[in-house]
């Protein structure tokens, strides 16, 4: 791909010695801070802190944020200098309003180069556009953004119309005119007049948006008596005084409300394309690399620039340390040229990062960046406490340790195990040694241990039970479906505080494996196995357990993991190689524990534990195998066995020796050679505990059948709204947090939300990763530990939107002028404590799209596709319904069916 200079956005690419603006030179170079400047023609003006979060749509702004590495700052951050030895991450954002001039765009490009040069070109640069700001940018302004119209700045007219939307970060846009054309069912509108303040609630807006809008209205209007809530379709229900004023600005006879907003829907894309920048004949060319899953090694040339194209995630420019100065300063311009060449939307994010200063958002695009770089800052690896054991009481009292280890307790609690096969649910006897079959699903009901009489410790643990669902990779769909139904039923009907964890084979969580102390055995099919547990024979029903004199089936297990929280034994079928880094347990006429010479001592201990539960066993070290061992292994292999890369035929085996060296057919990229399963999932099996990045928090929802998510960076407990559903992605486990006041649909479809997230997350990720479902007020310690200073009483005084409206309606009932809609169009009052819009929501009336009467009275073939011809009346607004039927829908719905049909025929709605 070739990029010409015409396609590049204006940047001063040839400046060799950039003069830095005096405003920038005032910033301490080694300080944690946050600053905002506005570009006013050719001048740079520092914004006062009181104006942070307020932008003008025909201006350009520069935001500089400096935070500790891995930390976050916001608009309230106070500048503080740090030691020169402390690492600081720098971010420069330039924000472009919708109506910004070309001159201001050019000026801001020059100014960010000055600021970047002041910090030796180490900052990450973001190009932000109005209404499409990055998650990091939004994280600076927790109270939301207000965008003012430049056309109205000097207008003497004090009357204003604002459009609001945004579930977490509320955006408030000042409209250039007061007109019905700005109204949409997805939005909330503010009409601010000299005498009054109106909050218009679109029927398709979410409750969290409505609640936040009312709180914002209270900051706009100090006197709450001046605020009137107007529900979409109930405008005629306003008190007469307010209705007359509303009509003077927005005539109700001209009412037109857009059914759905032009919401920016980002393309679902979790694949990345990488291009290398090269100059040929003085022209910039982009050569695409042959990459499936990007790795850090793909950025292998520090003397140039790489372009990473993720479309929805934006266009990233990675600049090598040894790249020429001109390429560093022109990177953003080249990124914009790339966007134009690809004909991507104008608001496509463009971000420039520099080698050695990559932010977390960039590194997450490379699934294995942290393991490649050896950076343990974000790794997840439990660290044993005193005596090498995890103490339940310590995990109760220290949620952060529980989160780091992903262990709720030490796994010694009581458990019930259910095996799901075809149409049966069989309870099996639980002991510390359990055999699972990969063609089945299992449900484990576990009681959490907290060895403390202290109430606060119990609160810290958060849950009394955990419901685990484990699916074998070869389990049929009907079996996994039945297991899911059974597990969900336990989760939703157990009276104790609990959580639900759904996982698949090879994605077991640390706490689940801890229940079995590393002795979980996974077989490909049912086998006759002799288990020795506490010197007795235990029948756990999911396998055939024999008496001592009976013959057991032969199989070989490979040991994965090196501790009780990450270890399991999986059957290898067929056996093609013995890897020097691993340990194996062979069940034949005798039990053998084979340890490779490069295996760790911890792994060997776990192998010996598995061997001991299968019976009397012999430990065999690599290169010291007796002849009997090779004869036993020979009965299990289907082709020539490879040990350390060399073939061992029967004659070699009879010598009981093996040459040194590593097997070329051993573990490669975490996959196990020689195993073929129906699903092919074995390729993802990892020999060690997985590592993760910092946990990420997302607000998730569905709207008109489409899934949406919004990342909340620098999250705190206060970012969890009880009226929403959130996903906390901790890498090894994806948590779905259900707010107490989330919609019934969201509470029912929690697994679907998790699946949608895993399928669209912008990084290589298995869609069947482990998922945990938790409810508000029932958060386990392994979840709370990801939040600093979790406060158990945080939501004690929380008032949700419905209750807030009830309170306002109750107050207005005692006042001469009501604040909310209290009566319908026929002057027939409903319960004064509950607005009619909320009452009718119980009948789903307001959840249907609304259309004018004339459209609904058309012939069937001309009706919009989503309208049921037999239920046209539900698509009327409340006001139109009352004008036709002279009663509310609430009253109409209580009429006999024959009477309803008669009325609908009369008004041509049947």
Give the confidence band of 586 by pLDDT, cuts at 50, 70, 90. very high
In 3-state terms, what secondary structure has residue 369?
A: helix
Which pLDDT tens digit goes with each residue over 222-235?
A: 776 789 999 999 99
pLDDT greater at residue 451 or residue 590? 590
For the residues 35-41, what does the mean pLDDT come to? 91
pLDDT score of 700: 95
pLDDT score of 528: 63
CATH number, domain containing residue 751: 3.40.20.10
For the residues 596-622, what does the mean pLDDT come to? 94
For the residues 17-24, what does the mean pLDDT come to? 84
For the residues 594-613, what does the mean pLDDT come to? 95
CA distances for 107 relative to 61, 94, 346, 373, angstroms: 10, 11, 19, 38
pLDDT score of 694: 81
| Domain membership flag for residue 267 | no
CA–CA gap between residue 589 and residue 747 (Å, rounded):
53
pLDDT score of 375: 46
CA–CA gap between residue 114 and residue 169 (Å, rounded):
30
Which pLDDT tens digit goes with each residue over 720-766?
A: 999 999 999 998 899 999 999 999 889 999 999 999 999 887 665 66
**How many domains in the chain?**
6
pLDDT above 70 for 842: no
| Domain membership flag for residue 310 | yes
Are 232 and 324 contained in the same domain? no
Are 125 and 163 contained in the same domain? no
pLDDT score of 291: 84
Give the confidence band of 301 by pLDDT, cuts at 50, 70, 90. very high
What is the extent of the structural domain holding 175?
A: 156-254
pLDDT score of 822: 42
CATH number, domain containing residue 896: 1.10.950.10
Are 138 and 163 contained in the same domain? no
| Domain membership flag for residue 824 | no
CA–CA gap between residue 750 and residue 723 (Å, rounded):
14
pLDDT above 90 for 54: yes
Three-point CA angle 535, 536, 540, nearest 5°: 130
Give the confidence band of 81 by pLDDT, cuts at 50, 70, 90. very high
Q: Domain end: 146, 177, 196, which one?
A: 146
Are 805 and 727 contained in the same domain? yes
Are 140 and 36 contained in the same domain? yes
The whole-chain average pLDDT of the chain stands at: 83
pLDDT score of 370: 66
Least Cα distance to 631 among 692, 590, 674, 685 occurs for: 590
Q: Token pair for residue 74? A: 């916001």
For the residues 633-656, what does the mean pLDDT come to? 50
Query: Residue 131: CB partners within 8 Å, gap ≥ 6?
Result: 98, 147, 171, 173, 264, 347
Are 441 and 402 contained in the same domain? yes
> What share of the chain has pLDDT > 90, as a percent?
58
Q: Domain end: 190, 222, 254, which one?
A: 254
pLDDT score of 617: 92
Are 560 and 587 contained in the same domain? yes
In 3-state terms, what secondary structure has residue 603?
A: helix
pLDDT score of 67: 96
Are 179 and 136 contained in the same domain? no
Are 166 and 136 contained in the same domain? no
| Domain membership flag for residue 660 | no
Dihedral of CA 381/387/393/397: which sign? Answer: negative
Are 136 and 184 contained in the same domain? no
Which pLDDT tens digit goes with each residue over 184-205?
A: 999 999 999 999 999 999 999 9
For the residues 449-458, what does the mean pLDDT come to? 78
| Domain membership flag for residue 665 | no
pLDDT score of 42: 74
Per-position DSSP letters for 644-702, written without gaps between them: TTEE--HHHHHHT----S--TTS-BTTB-TT---SS-GGGG--SS-----S-EEEEEEE
Give the confidence band of 835 by pLDDT, cuts at 50, 70, 90. low
Q: Report if pTM > 0.85.
A: yes
pLDDT score of 697: 96
| Domain membership flag for residue 114 | yes
Which pLDDT tens digit goes with each residue over 263-273?
A: 555 555 557 89
pLDDT greater at residue 429 or residue 135? 135
Q: Domain end: 339, 358, 377, which one?
A: 358
Which pLDDT tens digit goes with each residue over 116-167?
A: 999 999 999 999 999 999 999 999 999 999 999 999 999 999 999 999 999 9
pLDDT score of 689: 38
Listed range (160-174, 644-658, 690-704, 706-720) with the worst mean pLDDT: 644-658
For the residues 479-507, what does the mean pLDDT come to? 95
R_g (Cα) of the chain, nearest Å: 32
| Domain membership flag for residue 419 | yes
Are 397 and 498 contained in the same domain? yes
| Domain membership flag for residue 828 | no
Are 231 and 303 contained in the same domain? no
Listed range (395-409, 487-501, 650-664) with the worst mean pLDDT: 650-664
For the residues 657-672, what does the mean pLDDT come to? 31
């Amino acid at each position: 791909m070739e990029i010409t200079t015409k396609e590049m956005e204006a940047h001063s690419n040839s400046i060799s010695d950039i003069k830095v603006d005096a405003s920038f030179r005032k910033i301490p170079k080694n300080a944690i801070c946050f600053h905002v400047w506005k570009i006013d023609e050719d001048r740079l003006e520092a914004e006062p802190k009181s104006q942070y979060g307020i932008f003008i749509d025909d201006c350009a702004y520069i935001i500089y944020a400096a935070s500790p590495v891995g930390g976050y700052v916001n608009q309230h951050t106070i500048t503080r200098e740090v030691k020169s030895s402390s690492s600081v991450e720098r971010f420069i954002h330039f924000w472009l309003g919708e109506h910004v001039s070309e001159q201001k765009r050019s000026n801001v490009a020059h100014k960010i180069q000055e600021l970047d040069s002041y910090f030796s070109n180490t900052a990450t640069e973001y190009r932000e556009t109005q209404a499409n700001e990055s998650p990091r940018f939004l994280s600076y302004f927790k109270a939301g953004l207000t965008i003012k119209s430049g056309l109205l700045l000097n207008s003497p007219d004090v009357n204003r119309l604002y459009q609001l939307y945004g579930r977490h970060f509320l955006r408030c846009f000042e409209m250039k005119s007061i007109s019905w054309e700005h109204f949409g069912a997805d939005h909330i509108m503010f009409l601010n007049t000299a005498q009054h303040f109106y909050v218009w609630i679109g029927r398709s807006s979410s409750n969290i948006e409505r609640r936040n809008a009312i709180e914002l209205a209270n900051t706009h209007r100090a006197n709450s008596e001046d605020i009137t809530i107007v529900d979409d379709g109930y405008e005629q229900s306003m008190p007469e005084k307010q209705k007359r004023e509303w009509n003077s600005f927005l005539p109700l006879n001209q009412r037109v409300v857009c059914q759905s907003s032009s919401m920016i829907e980002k393309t679902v894309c979790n694949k990345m394309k990488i291009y290398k920048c090269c100059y040929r004949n003085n022209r910039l060319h982009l050569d695409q690399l042959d990459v499936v899953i990007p790795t850090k090694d793909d950025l292998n040339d520090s003397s140039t620039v790489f372009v990473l194209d993720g479309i929805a995630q934006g266009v990233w420019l990675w600049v090598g340390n040894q790249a020429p100065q001109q390429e560093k300063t022109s990177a953003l311009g080249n990124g914009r040229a790339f966007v134009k060449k690809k004909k991507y939307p104008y608001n496509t994010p463009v971000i420039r990062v520099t080698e050695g200063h990559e932010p977390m958002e960039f590194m997450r695009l490379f699934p294995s960046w942290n393991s490649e770089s050896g950076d343990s800052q974000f790794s997840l690896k439990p660290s044993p406490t005193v005596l090498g054991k995890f103490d339940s009481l310590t995990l109760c009292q220290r949620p952060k340790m529980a989160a780091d280890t992903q262990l709720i307790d030490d796994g010694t609690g009581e458990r019930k195990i259910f095996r799901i096969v075809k149409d049966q649910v069989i309870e099996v006897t639980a002991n510390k040694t359990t055999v699972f079959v990969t063609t089945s699903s299992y449900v484990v009901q576990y009681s959490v241990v907290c060895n403390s009489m202290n109430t606060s410790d119990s609160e810290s643990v958060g849950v009394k039970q955990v419901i685990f669902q484990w699916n074998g990779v070869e389990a049929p769909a009907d079996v996994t479906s039945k297991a899911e139904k059974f597990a969900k039923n336990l989760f939703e009907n157990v009276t104790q505080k609990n959580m639900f964890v759904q996982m698949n084979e090879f994605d077991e969580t640390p706490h689940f494996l801890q229940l079995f102390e590393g002795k979980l055995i996974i077989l490909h099919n049912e086998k006759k196995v002799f288990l020795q547990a506490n010197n007795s024979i235990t029948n756990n029903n999911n396998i055939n357990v024999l008496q001592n004199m009976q013959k057991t089936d032969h199989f070989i297990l490979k040991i994965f993991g090196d501790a009780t929280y990450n270890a399991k034994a999986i059957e290898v079928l067929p056996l093609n190689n013995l890897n020097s880094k691993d340990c194996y347990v062979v069940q034949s006429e005798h039990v053998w524990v084979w340890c490779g010479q490069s295996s760790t001592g911890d792994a060997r201990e776990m192998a010996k534990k598995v061997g001991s539960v299968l019976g009397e066993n012999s430990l065999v070290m690599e290169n010291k195998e007796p002849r009997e061992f090779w004869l036993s292994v020979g009965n299990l292999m289907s082709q020539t066995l490879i040990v350390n890369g060399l073939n061992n035929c029967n004659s070699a085996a009879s010598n009981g020796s093996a040459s040194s060296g590593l097997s070329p057919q051993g573990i490669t990229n975490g996959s196990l050679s020689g195993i073929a399963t129906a699903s092919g999932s074995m390729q993802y099996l990892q020999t060690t505990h997985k590592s993760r990045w910092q946990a990420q928090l997302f607000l998730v929802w569905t709207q008109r059948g489409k899934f949406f998510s919004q990342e909340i960076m620098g999250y705190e407990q206060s970012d969890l709204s009880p009226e929403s559903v959130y996903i906390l992605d901790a890498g090894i486990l994806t948590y779905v947090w259900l707010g107490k006041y989330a919609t019934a649909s969201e509470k029912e479809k929690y697994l679907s939300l998790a699946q949608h997230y895993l399928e669209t997350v912008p990084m290589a990720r298995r869609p069947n990763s482990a998922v945990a479902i938790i409810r508000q007020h029932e958060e386990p310690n392994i979840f709370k530990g990801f939040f600093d200073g979790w406060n158990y009483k945080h939501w004690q005084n929380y008032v949700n939107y419905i209750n807030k409206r009830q309170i306002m309606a109750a107050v207005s009932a005692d006042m001469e002028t009501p604040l909310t809609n209290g009566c319908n169009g026929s002057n027939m009052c409903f319960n004064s404590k509950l607005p009619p819009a909320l009452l009718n929501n119980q009948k789903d009336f307001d959840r249907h799209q609304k259309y004018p009467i004339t459209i609904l009275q058309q012939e069937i073939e001309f009706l919009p596709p989503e309208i049921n011809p037999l239920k046209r009346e539900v698509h009327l607004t409340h006001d139109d319904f009352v004008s036709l039927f002279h009663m509310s829908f609430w009253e109409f719905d209580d009429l006999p069916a024959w009477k309803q049909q008669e009325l609908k025929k009369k008004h041509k709605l049947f």
